[in-house]
Structure 1
């Protein structure tokens, strides 16, 4: 039986990222859900809420919201009840649990996760760092890095670094190029170094697409080393041997999303610091797909 289409309204007094993430994560558990998303962000006044309510009346459907203002919440819930559409404050169950455990009431503070505090500026600083140390740039600044990602070209080093920067992690990335030695700074790195590897066929597909985008019309893609199967296979194998010889753990990103790769990087960073605190050197390792 085919899934019927329905409207889903996401109402937030902030950017709506929390709601978007929750909706995306939960809908991913269903097979081909036919959902029409209506995203209403920065809803902070009754005038703005009126526009939202008109939208819900015009295209009724379940409502998920994160609103701190009690009067706005009441108005939204009241209209949803009149329309007979489900209405859920997604953070309330978590908030109730934490209030019980902490023995205190949460502050009614809108968009508390986006305040301009030290954590916010740490993330901005990390973003600037990634921009300045992308693809082997600024290797002299590796001593300031929280971690370094190494790998062959197009193995998702850059997007992973940017994702980590949003978590406040200063991540440098250094390409492993067959004809070029690694920077001297990586001989005795002050932070975890983590290798990224990828399946040969998947990497060739990515590189072919890249060549097409940049307009490499004069390159015979079937024989060029950059996309030649045997050359790419040898390049990946050499990169893995290099990581193993240095005792750097390796993550196979072939079937991983950027978020999953970043989460694994964070785990390996924690393990590296734990071993360092215990006075033992990092050991070789690898994480498959």
Structure 2
């Protein structure tokens, strides 16, 4: 039987990223669900909260919130109780556990994770680095990289590098091009090198889509080596053999999300540094690329 639609209100005194992430992670486990999201961010005054309460009353549904101000929390919980609407502070249990273990009370500080601290500027620096070293650009700068991703064209190197930059990791992107030598800076790399590979049918489809986007009307898509099945298979095989010969680990991204690929890259970075008795760069907390926070 069809599932009924529900309203879900996400109320935050910050950007709403935390709530959006929690909602996405939990709702992904419900098939065929229909949830109408109502996002209320930067709720920091009673006037702003009153608008939220009007919305909840007009379209009742469960409320998830991250509010630091006790008076706003109390008002929200009071109205939800009167309306018979479930209301949950998503961070309370985690905060209680940590306070009991740390032995100190958490400060009542909204948007604490969004301050312009060292992590913030490290992410900005990493983003500038990725922009300057994408797709084989600025190979001399590989000496400053935290990790180098190699692979054939359209194997998710660029989006993975940008995701890593969002964690404060400087990731260089070096394409493996048939018949073209790798830059000499990668012969004796000062950082981990990780290969990305992908199954031929998936790569061909991605490349076909790429050609359509750039309006490659003059390219004979059935014969060009860029999407020719045999040529693509040979290109992927040659890239894998190159990585194996250099001792570079390879990640198959065919059925992985960018987040999963990046998480594996971070694990491989840790292992590379551990073998050398070094401390790997510690990634900053993830900041979702879209959506609104705590």
Distance in 2 between residues matched to 1:43 and 1:226, nearest whole Å:
51
Distance in 2 between residues matched to 1:171 and 1:261, nearest whole Å:
13
Distance in 1 between residues matched to 2:51 and 2:258, nearest whole Å:
36
Match of 1:88 in 2: 88
Shift of 1:193: 0.3
Shift of 1:97: 0.7
- State how 1:1-289 maps to structure 2 within 5 Å: 1-277=1-277
Distance in 2 between residues matched to 1:55 and 1:179, nearest whole Å:
61
SS at match of 2:113: helix
Distance in 1 between residues matched to 2:267 and 2:132, nearest whole Å:
25
SS at match of 1:113: helix
Gaps of 5+ in 2: 279-294
Distance in 2 between residues matched to 1:32 and 1:185, nearest whole Å:
50
Distance in 2 between residues matched to 1:235 and 1:32, nearest whole Å:
40
SS at match of 1:37: strand
Task: Provide, for residues 65-90 of structure 1, a one-character-per-residue CA deviation record: whole Å limited to 9, x for no partner.
Answer: 11111111111111111111100100
Distance in 1 between residues matched to 2:250 and 2:259, nearest whole Å:
16
Aligned-pair Cα RMSD in Å: 0.8
Distance in 1 between residues matched to 2:111 and 2:18, nearest whole Å:
10
Q: Which has the bigger relative contact order, CA under 8 A and spacing at least 6?
A: 2
Shift of 1:2: 1.8
Distance in 1 between residues matched to 2:193 and 2:42, nearest whole Å:
40
SS at match of 2:194: strand
Shift of 1:222: 1.1
Task: Provide, for residues 143-189 of structure 1, a one-character-per-residue CA deviation record: whole Å limited to 9, x for no partner.
Answer: 10000000000000010011111111001111100021100000000
TM-score, length-scaled by structure 2:
0.93
Gaps of 5+ in 1: 279-289
Shift of 1:36: 0.5
Shift of 1:33: 1.3
Task: Provide, for residues 29-64 of structure 1, a one-character-per-residue CA deviation record: whole Å limited to 9, x for no partner.
Answer: 111211001111111111111111111111110000
Distance in 2 between residues matched to 1:22 and 1:84, nearest whole Å:
23
Shift of 1:275: 0.4
Distance in 1 between residues matched to 2:214 and 2:54, nearest whole Å:
46
Task: Provide, for residues 101-127 of structure 1, a one-character-per-residue CA deviation record: whole Å limited to 9, x for no partner.
Answer: 101111111000010111111111111
TM-score, length-scaled by structure 1:
0.95
Total equivalences in the alignment? 278
Distance in 2 between residues matched to 1:15 and 1:137, nearest whole Å:
34
SS at match of 1:224: coil
